[in-house]
Amino acid sequence: MRPFKLLTIAAVGLLALCCSACGESVAAKAPPTKLKTFNFRIIGEPETLDWNRAHTPIETYILLNIMEGLLAFDGAMKVSPALAQSWTISPDGKTYTFKLRPDVKWSDGVPLKARDFVYSWKRLLSPMTAAAYAYFLFDVEGAENFNKGLNKDFGSVGIKALDDVTFQVRLAHPVAHWITIPTFWVTFPLREDVVQKNGSDWEKPGRMVTLGPYKLVAHDIDSKIVLRPNPNYHGKRGNIEEINALIVKDATTAVTLYESGKLDFVTDLSTLDVKRFSSSPDFKVFPYLKTAYLGLVVDKFPLTNLKVRRAIAMAIDKSKFGELLYGKQQAATTLVPPSLIAYSKTLGLPYDPVRAKAELRASGLDMSRPLNLDLVIPNWDKPLNVAQFIQGELHKNLGLSVNLQPFDNKTFRAQVDLRAYPLFQLSWSADYPDPDNFVSLFLSSSGNNRTTWKNAQYDQRVLAARRMPDLKAREKIYLQLQKQLLEEETVIIPLYYEPNIALVRPRVKGLELNPINYLLLKKVSVD
C-alpha cells in the first residue's frame, strides 16, 4: 500500500477556512469509500509493535486491537475471560491454572497453544529483551532471578504449559492484585516459530501473526498504520472493515483533519482546541486513572540535595493547571489518582512559597548566582504549556533558572531513559486498576523508574502490601509509601489528574475509552 501523505501546509490552511462553528457538531461528510473505515490519530511513530517491549501510550490502541490476553476487563472493570475460557486459583493463592478457549487461531490459521504464552513470558523476562515491564512478572516463582541472570534455567521458573490448552503460573507468594496482570499487553502470547524465522522483523506487516479482531496489513513509518479484519478471529466485532491510525504529531493539524472528515476520533487535543470544542456534541470526556508528574533525577546536582527537591515541590501552584489547560485537570496531591484506594487530598507537600524559600536557604547551596536546571519534555502543546508554567513558578518563587529541553517523542523517551536531565515531565496511567500499579513504578527493579532513586525499605513495603488480603491494611501501607515518596524523599511531584478528552464523529457508534485508556474497536460500528 502506498504511503499516506499528510496534507501540505497550503492544503491545511485551506481546510481551516471550512471549519464549522465550535458550538455545533464539527463532523463533515467523509469522501465515498468502498470500505467501512475508521480513522484515528496517534501522536507519534510507535517505538515498537513488539508487545513484550512496548511501554508507551502510543502503542496502546494498536496492540489492543490486533492482540488479546488470557483475561480482559469488562465494562465494570472486572476481570473476565478472554483467551482463557476459565481459570482456577489454588487454596494457598499461589497457583493459577488457565484453560484456553479451544476455538482460537492465529491470523495464519495456526491454533493457539499454551506454549505460546510460555514463550512470550520467557521472552519478556529474558535479560536480552530488556523489557521495561519485565518486573510485572517478578512475583512469579524464580522470575526475578531469571531476569537478573542469577538463574539461567527457565525450567525452574513457575511458568508451565501442562498441555496444549492448559497454562499454569506458580507465584512465590500470594498477590492481591495478580489476577489483573494477564490482562496487560506485555503478557499476550507470541509464536516462537514466527520470531525465530523473521528475527527482529517479525513485527512487520506480512510477517506478524496476531489473534485479535484485526491484523496489521501496512505500516508506513511516521505516516500511518493500517489494520484489517482478522478472518480467524474467535469473537464478534463491529462493522469496521479498515482501521487507519494516522501519525499526526501536530495537534492543530489533527483537528483540521478531523473537521475535514479525514479523522473520526482524536485525542491529545491542544489546549486551545479543548477550550474551543468544549460545547460541541462531538466533545467527549472519559474517566481516566492518570497522574501527571514532575520527575526528579536524584543523582544529578542540585537534586542530590533533598531540601532543593522539597523547595521545588512547594514552589509550584498546582491549582492553576485546570485554568491553564481547560481540560478539567484537578490538582494532584498523591500519585494514586481519585477513585482508587490510597488516594488522599492531604498527602504531598503543599504549595507554600515561604516554606519553599526557607528549604532552599537551608540546603546550604551558594545562591549568590541562580541555580540552572534543565527540564526535558515532549514537544507537544500541553507539556510545553505545563513546562512554561513550572519554569515561571520556580523563577518567581525560588529564583531558579529552568531551561526547557523539548524533543520529539522518540528522542524525549530516549533522554528520559538515559536520565540525561535533572527534571523530566511524564504521566502515569494505570495498566491495572490498583494502587500497586502506581507505587511499584518506583521500585528499584522497575524498568519504568527514571528517577535513579532506590530504597530497599520502600521496595520491601511495596512487596509486603501485595501479599495482604485485607484491603484496609494495604491502603494504610500505600498511604505511607506515598508519604515517603512525595514528602520524606520528594522523588516526584504529582502535578494534576485529568480525564481522557476526545473528539468523536457522530457516525461512530459504541466507542468508549475505559479508565485505563483501552479503545476496543471490536465494539465499534460506523454509519
Shared domain for 227 and 279, answered yes or no, is yes
**Residue-level pLDDT at 410:** 85
The mean pLDDT of 382-405, rounded to a whole number, is: 97
Shared domain for 173 and 317, answered yes or no, is no
Shared domain for 519 and 419, answered yes or no, is no
Shared domain for 307 and 435, answered yes or no, is yes
**Residue-level pLDDT at 429:** 95
| Residue 33: pLDDT band with limits 50, 70, 90 | low
**Residue 271 is part of a domain; what is its CATH number?**
3.40.190.10
Shared domain for 153 and 237, answered yes or no, is no
Shared domain for 331 and 457, answered yes or no, is yes
Distances (CA, A) of 430 to 102, 110, 305, 315, 347: 31, 33, 30, 27, 20
Provide the edge-to-edge strand list for the sheet that holds 159-163: 84-89, 95-100, 166-170, 159-163
Shared domain for 330 and 426, answered yes or no, is yes
Helix, strand, coil % over all residues of the chain, rounded to 5: 35, 20, 45
What pLDDT, in 10s, does the model give residues 397-426? 999 999 999 998 889 999 999 999 999 999
Q: Return the higher-pLDDT residue of 479 and 369.
A: 479
Shared domain for 424 and 305, answered yes or no, is yes
| pLDDT over 90 at 21, yes or no | no
**Residue-level pLDDT at 25:** 43
Looking at the chain, the whole-number percentage of residues with pLDDT higher than 90 is 89
Shared domain for 227 and 254, answered yes or no, is yes
Q: Which of 195, 229, 256 is the last residue of a domain?
A: 195
Count of domains observed in the chain: 3
Distances (CA, A) of 524 to 169, 243, 507, 508: 34, 11, 10, 7
| pLDDT over 60 at 23, yes or no | no
Query: Which amino acid makes up residue 455?
Result: N
Rg (C-alpha) for the chain, rounded Å, is 24
**Residue 486 is part of a domain; what is its CATH number?**
3.10.105.10
In a domain, 373, yes or no: yes
**Residue-level pLDDT at 368:** 83
Which structural domain, as residue segments, surrounds residue 97?
71-195
Residue 388, φ and ψ in degrees, nearest 5: -65, -35
What pLDDT, in 10s, does the model give residues 482-522? 999 999 999 999 999 999 999 999 999 999 999 999 999 99
| 4-8, 248-252, 448-452: segment of lowest average pLDDT | 4-8
**Residue-level pLDDT at 370:** 81
Could you give the 3-state DSSP secondary structure of residue 404? strand
**Residue-level pLDDT at 366:** 87
In a domain, 3, yes or no: no
In a domain, 484, yes or no: yes
In a domain, 446, yes or no: yes
In a domain, 377, yes or no: yes
The mean pLDDT of 19-44, rounded to a whole number, is: 65
pTM, 2 dp: 0.88
| 107-116, 138-147, 376-385, 501-510: segment of lowest average pLDDT | 376-385
In a domain, 508, yes or no: yes
